[in-house]
Amino acid sequence: MAPAAPATAAVRRVKLGSQGLEVSAQGLGCMGMSAFHGPSKPEADMVALIHHAVAAGVTLLDTADIYGPHANEALLGKALQVGGVRDNVALATKFGKFLADGKVGIRGDPAYVRAACEGSLWRLGVDCIDLYYQHRVDKKVPIEVTKHKRVSDEKLIMKGKVGGGLVKGLANGWCQGS
């Protein structure tokens, strides 16, 4: 696959949160490429679509470990490896929602968050996730425990695994003021 060409049209950019992450106003949600909206699409077509979006100026690519499950992160990881795509995008993925024995589960405990992050890094083929956020709140774990652990975990933050040490966004279900 040929590398993505530079954008031909200016795409408006916006800041997410207060930590300095700036992305295109329109992002590309990758869920439907490999989960939940019918059968998985042909991989080569989806990689080409991701490259086309980046060439058109899209700089935010969003996925989650539950999509596929895991197949969507692996697909996005393949697209990121070609033509410097990774250097031109902000990569977002989510944790906290998983499938076990065909049923959806929710987890936000620190051990799960750490393991989920390491798995996402491996599937995406990257050493840092720009925006790592919780898909659903685990009602059995105080949000402060999940958030604090995610923000301060030495393996994720201090080693630069997530957004250079900054939490740049929050997702579905986060309480206001978090």
Task: Let me know if 1 is exposed, middle or buried by CB neighbors in 10 A (0-12, 13-18, 19+).
Answer: middle
Active site residue 67: yes
Q: Which long-range contacts (CB under 8 A, 24 or more apart) does 109-114 make?
A: 109/138, 109/141, 109/145, 109/146, 110/145, 110/146, 110/149, 110/153, 113/146, 113/149, 113/150, 113/153, 113/156, 114/149, 114/153, 114/155, 114/156
Cα 137 from Cα 39, distance rounded (Å)? 28
User: Which residues are known catalytic residues?
Assistant: 67
